[in-house]
Amino acid sequence: MYKIVSRLLIYGDMPKDTILMELADIVRQMDEGTQKKEELVTRVFTQMKHLLQVATDYGFDKNLWHNYLTYLLITSENPFSITCEKVGANEGSVNYFAKGDFRAFKELFDYDFSRLEEYLGVDCFRRISHYQAIGKKELMYNKNVSEKVQALSLRLEQAMDENDFFDCVTGFYKDYGVGMFGLNKAFRISSGSDGDVVFHAINNMDTVMLDDLVGYEIQKKKLRDNTMAFVQGKKANNVLLFGDSGTGKSTSIKAIVNAFYPHGLRMIEIYKHQFQDLSTVIARIKNRNYKFIIYMDDLSFEEFEVEYKFLKAVIEGGVETRPDNILIYATSNRRHLIKENWSDRDDMESSNGMHRSDTMEEKLSLVNRFGVTISYSKPSPKEYFHIVTELARRAGIDMEEKELCAEANKWELSHGGISGRTAQQFINYLLGTRG
């Protein structure tokens, strides 16, 4: 195995602690006789544990070795894979080297571990080639990644040679992309030990769709139309969704990401204290072949908070133009985002009192940078009961409409008032007490 791995060029820069590199070193140590059997067994079991953990995280099944190798291929971000992500496979000298790597991966797919098993007296590799995973809920693993990896793994199992490998892998890169951005819908960020920005995939994102949100048809259409233009490469605007709490603003954003993910839309959730990292985030994603929504939930600022100035510069007004593959989508309970005082309106020059308030202009200039603003207002009692009855119908709750509305009215009086969120909480209550 170590001889095969040594031939990798484009994909050969994997860390030494990866499962593949560790197993290759174990085989080398076995051939050279430089390590005791007991120590090699321990190392093999350690890598098996790591492989099983990967299988659990991504819901892999059947041949875990093939799934793992496929996972390596579709998560390896290198100049070749990133180029294929943008334009697919094209004629070029690099294809010669890529096919050499795929020839090696084909050999790894077909690698016979029996010699290693017989030498160490283990049978774990035989077990993982016909693995039966324990069924688990989708929220416990990334179903989207799991399905893509296993589908490609099956195709690669049937590949006759490196040319078939090349067609399968490059086709995947063009259709879905490469690395974490290619496989996942949404991300959060954190600061790494070296001060750089680290992206973390959100594996258990809500699978809600726009049709699941009852009402607000005009709002949903405006959001859908703007996003559709964005993913099609047309001009589109930053979006601010504002209004009462519990009306579906955040749900609409999640739904729009779910709807347009197959078209290359991705979401990065950023919190207020991370605004200083916005420039770094944009620099990392501006050259990728995806459309990114930078999502800011419950956006608002107090008088003493100045983070909004970072946001203003990124949206519009900075020296560097915002890339065409990035938009800002934000939700807020405040129309103007920044807390205003009456004193702001009196902030005039004392000499003649003729100038408008500079303070007000500064605060209002942020919201003016959102080209589309969508209002989500609290539903009327009639709209509230419509939401309740529709949610009850979808949930299979069999109650007389009059009784349902009466109970819903009692519920909202003691649970935060009329809103879509209150309606959903009421339905959850009924499902929990009646089922």
pLDDT beyond 80 at 250: yes
Query: 130 lies in which domain range?
Result: 2-182
**Residue 173 located in a structural domain:** yes
- Measuring CA to CA, how many Å separate 348 from each of 25, 309, 353? 74, 22, 5
Question: Do 236 and 173 share a structural domain?
Answer: no
Q: Quick one: DSSP state of residue 326? A: E
Question: Do 243 and 316 share a structural domain?
Answer: yes
Q: Report the candidate in 156, 137, 275 with the shortest Cα–Cα distance to residue 203.
A: 137
Question: Do 178 and 29 share a structural domain?
Answer: yes
Grade residue 221 by pLDDT with cuts at 50, 70 and 90: very high
Give the span between the Cα atoms of 325 and 291, in whole angstroms.
5
Question: Do 334 and 232 share a structural domain?
Answer: yes
Query: In sequence order, what are the beta bridge partners of 55?
Result: none
Give the span between the Cα atoms of 213 and 167, in whole angstroms.
41
Grade residue 27 by pLDDT with cuts at 50, 70 and 90: very high
Q: Is-contact 75 20, C-beta < 8 A?
A: no
Question: Do 169 and 149 share a structural domain?
Answer: yes
What's the CA angle centered on 138, arms 135 and 140, to 5 degrees?
A: 85
Q: Is-contact 245 333, C-beta < 8 A?
A: yes
Beta strands per DSSP E along 17-104: none
Q: Report the candidate in 135, 134, 133, 115 with the shortest Cα–Cα distance to residue 125.
A: 115
Question: Do 225 and 161 share a structural domain?
Answer: no
pLDDT beyond 60 at 349: no
Q: What pLDDT does residue 207 have?
A: 83
**Residue 190 located in a structural domain:** no
**Residue 193 located in a structural domain:** no
- Of 339, 355, 376, the residue that ends a domain is 376
Quote the pTM value: 0.79
Question: Do 395 and 368 share a structural domain?
Answer: no
**Residue 196 located in a structural domain:** no
Average pLDDT over residues 364-372: 74
Of 131-135, 290-294, 322-326, 414-418, which gets the smallest average pLDDT?
131-135
Helices of type H across 123-234: 124-128, 143-157, 162-176, 179-183, 217-231
Question: Do 386 and 273 share a structural domain?
Answer: no
- Of 132, 149, 182, the residue that ends a domain is 182
What's the CA angle centered on 224, arms 266 and 297, to 5 degrees?
A: 55
Question: Do 428 and 301 share a structural domain?
Answer: no
Query: In sequence order, what are the beta bridge partners of 243?
Result: 376
Average pLDDT over residues 369-398: 88
Question: Do 393 and 372 share a structural domain?
Answer: no
Tell me the CATH number at 276: 3.40.50.300
Beta strands per DSSP E along 333-434: 372-376
Question: Do 261 and 158 share a structural domain?
Answer: no
Pick the more confident residue, 15 or 342: 15
Tokens of 240: 């601010």
- Of 376, 399, 414, the residue that ends a domain is 376
Pick the more confident residue, 37 or 321: 37
pLDDT beyond 80 at 334: no
Q: What pLDDT does residue 28 have?
A: 95
Question: Do 255 and 126 share a structural domain?
Answer: no
pLDDT beyond 90 at 111: yes
Cα Rg, the chain, nearest whole Å: 27
Grade residue 338 by pLDDT with cuts at 50, 70 and 90: low
**Residue 334 located in a structural domain:** yes
Q: What pLDDT does residue 361 have?
A: 57
Backbone angle region of 246, left / alpha / beta, with phi > 0 → left and psi within -120 to 50 → alpha: left
Domain count, the chain: 3
pLDDT beyond 50 at 351: no
**Residue 189 located in a structural domain:** no
Say what the alpha-carbon torsion angle 16, 22, 25, 26 is, to the nearest 10 degrees: 160
**Residue 192 located in a structural domain:** no
Q: What pLDDT does residue 260 have?
A: 93
292 HSE (CA, 13 A, CB side): 26
339 HSE (CA, 13 A, CB side): 7
**Residue 195 located in a structural domain:** no
